[in-house]
Amino acid sequence: ESGNKWVLMVTAQTPTNIAVIKYWGKRDEKLILPINDSISVTLDPSHLCTTTSVAVSPDFTHDRMWLNGKEISLSGGRFQNCLREIRSRASEVEDDEKGIKITKKDWEKLHVHIASYNNFPTAAGLASSAAGFACLVFSLAKLMNLKEDQSKLSSIARQGSGSACRSLFGGFVKWIMGKEKNGSDSVAVQLADENHWDDLVIIIAVVSSRQKETSSTSGMLETVETSMLIQHRAKEVVPKRIIQMEEAIKKRDFPSFAHLACADSNQFHAVCLDTTPPIFYMNDTSHRIISCVEKWNRSEGTPQVAYTFDAGPNAVLISHNRKTAAHLLQRLLFYFPPNSDTDLNSYVIGDKT
Ligand code: 2P0
Mean of pLDDT over the chain: 92
**ipTM, interface predicted TM-score of the complex:** 0.99
Q: What is the mean pLDDT of residues 264-274?
A: 98
Which pLDDT does position 340 carry in this prediction?
67
* Model confidence at 48: pLDDT above 90: no
HEC-encoded secondary structure of 172-186:
EEEECCCCCCCCCCC
Which pLDDT does position 136 carry in this prediction?
97
Terminal CA-to-CA distance of the chain, rounded, Å?
46
* Beta strands across the sheet bearing 111-118: 8-15, 49-57, 111-118, 64-67, 70-72
Which atom of ligand 1 sits closest to the CA of residue 175?
Answer: 3
Q: Which one of 216, 223, 268, 281 would you pick to mutate in the ligand 1 pocket, going by the greatest count of ligand atoms within 8 A of its CB? A: 216
Which pLDDT does position 351 carry in this prediction?
35
Which pLDDT does position 352 carry in this prediction?
28
Residues ≥6 apart with Cβ < 8 Å to 318: 20, 41, 200, 201, 202, 257, 258, 261, 305, 306, 307, 308
Q: Sorting pLDDT into bands at 50, 70 and 90, what band is 269?
A: very high
If one counts every other C-beta atom within 10 angstroms of the C-beta of residue 229, the result is 16
Do residues 296 and 305 lie in contact, with contact meaning Cβ atoms separated by under 8 Å?
Answer: yes
Higher pLDDT, 66 or 338: 66
What's 122's DSSP letter? G
Query: For the residues of 272-333, what is the DSSP string, one character each?
Result: HHTSSS------HHHHHHHHHHHHHHHHHSS--EEEEE-SSS-EEEEESSHHHHHHHHHHHH
Answer whether 204 contacts ligand 1 (Cβ < 6 A): no
**In the chain, % of residues over pLDDT 90:** 83
Amino acid at 86: I
Q: Sorting pLDDT into bands at 50, 70 and 90, what band is 350?
A: very low
* Model confidence at 348: pLDDT above 90: no
Distance 4 CA to ligand 1 centre (A): 44
Q: What is the mean pLDDT of residues 196-203?
A: 96
From CA 338, how far away is CA 349, in angstroms rounded?
20
Describe the crossing of helices 284-300 and 322-335 by its angle, rounded to 10 degrees.
Answer: 130
Element holding 230 (H helix, E strand)? helix 229-232
Residue 56's alpha-carbon distances to 88, 106, 189, in angstroms, are: 16, 11, 30
Do residues 20 and 39 lie in contact, with contact meaning Cβ atoms separated by under 8 Å?
Answer: yes
Nearest to 110 by CA among 132, 77, 143, 137: 143
Least confident of 28-42, 120-134, 329-343: 120-134
Tell me which residue has its CA closest to atom 20 in ligand 1: 19
Query: For the residues of 139-199, what is the DSSP string, one character each?
Result: HHHHHTT----HHHHHHHHTTT-GGGGGGGSSSEEEE---S-TT-TT--EEEEE-TTTTTT
* Model confidence at 353: pLDDT above 60: no
* Model confidence at 97: pLDDT above 90: no
Which pLDDT does position 343 carry in this prediction?
62
From CA 273, how far away is CA 267, in angstroms rounded?
10
Distance 42 CA to ligand 1 centre (A): 14
Q: Which one of 168, 222, 310 would you pick to mutate in the ligand 1 pocket, going by the greatest count of ligand atoms within 8 A of its CB? A: 310
| Chain segment 208-259, per-residue pLDDT in tens | 777 677 899 999 999 999 999 999 999 999 999 999 999 999 999 999 999 9
Answer whether 158 contacts ligand 1 (Cβ < 6 A): no
* Model confidence at 299: pLDDT above 70: yes
Which pLDDT does position 119 carry in this prediction?
85
